[in-house]
C-alpha cells in the first residue's frame, strides 16, 4: 500500500469511529433523558394523587426525524451486542450494548486506524 492510500484508510477509519461512537452516545443520552423525564412525571403524579400509582407500561412515543434517525442508526450499530443482555431493566438493556459498541467502534476502529497509519 502506498502512503497516500494508508492515509485515506486511516482517515476513513477515524471518521467511521467518530460517527459510530457519536450516534451510539447520542442515542443513549436521549434514552437517559427520556427515563429521567418519565421518572419525574411519575413522581409528580404520585404526589398529586396522594397514593402510589400502579406501574403501567410506558406509552409508546414517536420522535421526530432527527431523533428517529439517531435511534435507528444506534439500534443498528448496537444490535450485534443486544443478544448478550438478558435483563428486564431498561438501563441494562440499553446501557450494556451501548458500552460494548463504544468499546468496539471506538477502541477497535481506533486501533485499526493506528495500524493503517503505521503501515504508511
Q: DSSP secondary-structure letter at 86?
A: -
Nearest to 79 by CA among 15, 23, 17, 13: 23
pLDDT at position 84 over 70: yes
- At 14, list the grid cell: 477515524
User: CA nearest 20: which of 81, 80, 65, 74?
Assistant: 74
Grid coordinates standing for 88?
A: 428486564
Q: Total domain count for the chain?
A: 1
Q: What is the pLDDT of residues 14-68, one digit of tens each?
A: 999 999 999 999 999 999 999 988 766 656 666 667 655 555 555 556 678 899 9
pTM metric for this prediction: 0.79
Specify the pLDDT at position 120: 60
CB atoms within 10 A of CB 78: 25
Report which of 74, 65, 66, 99 is spatially closest to residue 85, judged by C-alpha positions. 99
**What is residue 37's predicted lDDT score, i.e. its pLDDT?**
84
Q: What is the pLDDT of residue 51?
A: 58
Compare 57 and 102 and report the one with higher pLDDT.
102
Determine the structural domain holding residue 89 and report its residue range: 3-54+63-118
Amino acid at each position: 500500500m502506498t502512503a497516500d492510500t494508508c492515509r485515506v484508510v486511516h482517515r476513513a477509519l477515524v471518521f467511521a469511529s467518530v460517527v459510530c461512537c457519536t450516534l451510539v452516545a447520542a442515542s443513549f443520552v436521549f434514552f437517559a433523558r427520556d427515563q429521567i423525564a418519565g421518572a419525574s412525571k411519575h413522581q409528580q403524579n404520585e404526589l398529586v394523587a396522594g397514593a402510589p400509582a400502579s406501574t403501567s407500561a410506558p406509552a409508546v412515543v414517536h420522535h421526530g426525524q432527527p431523533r428517529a434517525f439517531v435511534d435507528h442508526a444506534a439500534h443498528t450499530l448496537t444490535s450485534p451486542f443486544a443478544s448478550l443482555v438478558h435483563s428486564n431493566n431498561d438501563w441494562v438493556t440499553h446501557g450494556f450494548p451501548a458500552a460494548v459498541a463504544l468499546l468496539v467502534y471506538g477502541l477497535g476502529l481506533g486501533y485499526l486506524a493506528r495500524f493503517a497509519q503505521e503501515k504508511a
